[in-house]
Amino acid sequence: MAKRVSKKNRIKVGVFGGRRGRSMISVMAQHPDADLVAICESDEKIRKNSENLAKHYKTEITCYEDFDKFINHDMDAVVLANYATEHAPYAVRLLDSGRHICSEVLACQTVGEAVELIEAVERNKKVYAYAENYCYFRGTLEMKRLYRQGDIGEFLHGEGEYVHDCESIWVGITRGEPDHWRNWTPSTFYCTHSMGPVMTITDTYPTRISAYETPNINKRRIGCKSADGSVILCQMNNGATVKILPWSAYKRHPEAIWYAIYGTKGMMETARWGETFNRVHIYREGDERAVTDINYLAQFAQESDLSRKIGGHGGSDFYTMDYFLSAIRGEPAGSEIIDVYQAVNMTLPGVLGYRSIMEGNRAIDVPYLRNKAERDKHRDDHWCLDPKYAGPGQPTQSCSTEDVKIPASLYKKQQKLANPVKK
């Protein structure tokens, strides 16, 4: 990585959301091409922690509680690390104000929002990068390299799983808020950790999906109303099939982050246990060794002192930010970003998955929104559980098998745990 450029030539960056944004703040405060200038966070404690983190890296920033003031700050680019259901509307506002955008997961929560987001990127001709960091693990990048050089032939079938029992950390990430997005979004929603790497490894996208889910057995005791888990089945644009488990709360430790790709000449997958998502197993047709015999711990192709220093999500958080800055500068490494079309393609299976479940698990075509003629059919499609879209024809329960009721006393107990009274 190059030596830090002069301050006037750095990209002025703001971060919206200090909790998930902590990792992005850390990268941008140290990156030689970035000048971290502003942070927006409504929670006073998190806002102060963000300010202290920036000071730790000798970076002076302006902290905002109000987004409408934050958007007027002098900055070239914004990293969206706010609520996962609110990324698209804020991205559109910021793009229309002339800013480049790096969005945390997920890209949108409705098909209509996907149309709005794509058109905002096209209209403003600004960089939009989707920070699906699981696509930048050492293991998934190595699988991409192996696939692209033809080691296993043409893509036939893929699988991705993200199983994470969050019960022990639920109070910390939801703070006992009944309306926190994690407590009401459906089981299919948080899908790009599973879907994204399969797409970026194989350079394909889903064209048709159907989905199924379990009952809510365990999640209710932490205040979450959706099913414990789900499965989404996909047909890809090249005819391949894909099975993914979006975020599922099945009982397992450690969590499962696992990918498998089958081709016409072999297969590869990450490990199930131990070093898991960075250990790659591969079988090539004609090799007498089994897939369990050829395995190794993948490494990043290019590393720097800073990338080794910043270890968020196995080092992948660094690369989402680094490639975003490279794209703004028009550098070759910028081609590694996940653009708005890919972001939407990997988000929509989760958006449409719950509709499939609620409509008897029927197969649903995934709209190809690069095609402008396709957009008008979906421009007003805001089918989702978000109360702001409530109305006739909208779903009213987060789990298909029952309308899960959570006692208010549970959330009050969690709030006390999240905000203990100092003695």
Burial 370-388 (b: 16+ CB within 10 A, else e): eeeeebeebeebbbbbbee
Q: Sign of the C-alpha dihedral, residues 377, 383, 384, 389?
A: positive
pLDDT in tens, 406-418: 999 999 999 999 9
Domain identity same for 129 and 174: no
Domain identity same for 70 and 166: no
Whether 1 is in a domain gets the answer: no
Domain identity same for 209 and 293: yes
Question: Above 80 in pLDDT, residue 183?
Answer: yes
Whether 374 is in a domain gets the answer: yes
Domain identity same for 161 and 64: no
- Cα distances from 156 to residues 75, 206, 273, 310, 364, in angstroms, run 44, 13, 25, 36, 21
Domain identity same for 127 and 142: no
pLDDT in tens, 26-47: 999 999 999 999 999 999 999 9
Domain identity same for 155 and 121: no
Q: How far apart are CA 216 and CA 228, in angstroms?
A: 5
Share of the chain above pLDDT 70, in %: 96
Alpha helices per DSSP H over 359-404: 372-375
Question: Above 50 in pLDDT, residue 182?
Answer: yes
Domain identity same for 259 and 371: yes
Whether 251 is in a domain gets the answer: yes
Domain identity same for 348 and 371: yes
Whether 406 is in a domain gets the answer: no
More confident residue, 273 or 24: 24
Q: Which residue range(s) make up the domain with 169?
A: 135-306+339-389
Decide: 15 and 103 in contact? Cβ < 8 Å. Answer: no
Question: Above 90 in pLDDT, residue 262?
Answer: yes
Domains in the chain, number: 2
- Sequence-ordered list of residues with C-beta below 8 angstroms from that of 388, at least 6 positions apart, any chain: none
Whether 405 is in a domain gets the answer: no
Write out the H or E segment, with its range, that includes residue 244.
strand 241-248
Question: Above 80 in pLDDT, residue 120?
Answer: yes
Of the candidates 133, 162, 185, which is a domain's last residue?
Answer: 133
Residue 86: Cβ within 10 Å count: 18
- What is the pTM assigned to this prediction? 0.95
Of the candidates 91, 109, 133, which is a domain's last residue?
Answer: 133
More confident residue, 112 or 316: 112
**pLDDT for res 302:** 74
Whether 148 is in a domain gets the answer: yes
From 143-157, 250-264, 293-307, 354-368, the region with the lowest mean pLDDT: 293-307
pLDDT in tens, 392-407: 999 999 999 999 999 9
- Cα distances from 39 to residues 5, 12, 114, 287, 353, in angstroms, run 22, 12, 26, 53, 34
- Sequence-ordered list of residues with C-beta below 8 angstroms from that of 45, at least 6 positions apart, any chain: none
Decide: 120 and 92 in contact? Cβ < 8 Å. Answer: yes
Q: How far apart are CA 404 and CA 395, in angstroms?
A: 13
Q: In which region does residue 362 sit, left (phi positive, over 0), alpha (psi from -120 to 50) or beta (all else)?
A: beta
Domain identity same for 350 and 227: yes
**pLDDT for res 1:** 47
Domain identity same for 193 and 102: no
Whether 420 is in a domain gets the answer: no
What is the average per-residue pLDDT within 348-372?
98
On average, the pLDDT of the chain sits at 94
pLDDT in tens, 286-339: 988 776 677 888 887 777 777 777 765 567 899 999 999 999 999 999 999 999
Question: Above 70 in pLDDT, residue 2?
Answer: no
* Count of positions (residues) in the chain: 423
Q: In 3D, which of 134, 148, 241, 203 has the Cα closest to residue 341?
A: 203
Question: What angle in degrees, to the nearest 10, is found between the helix axes of 22-30 and 316-329?
Answer: 50
Widest Cα–Cα separation across the chain: 69
Domain identity same for 82 and 32: yes
Whether 328 is in a domain gets the answer: no
- Indicate which CATH number applies to the domain containing 128: 3.40.50.720
- Indicate which CATH number applies to the domain containing 280: 3.30.360.10
Domain identity same for 256 and 116: no
What is the average per-residue pLDDT within 267-287?
89
Of the candidates 133, 152, 181, which is a domain's last residue?
Answer: 133
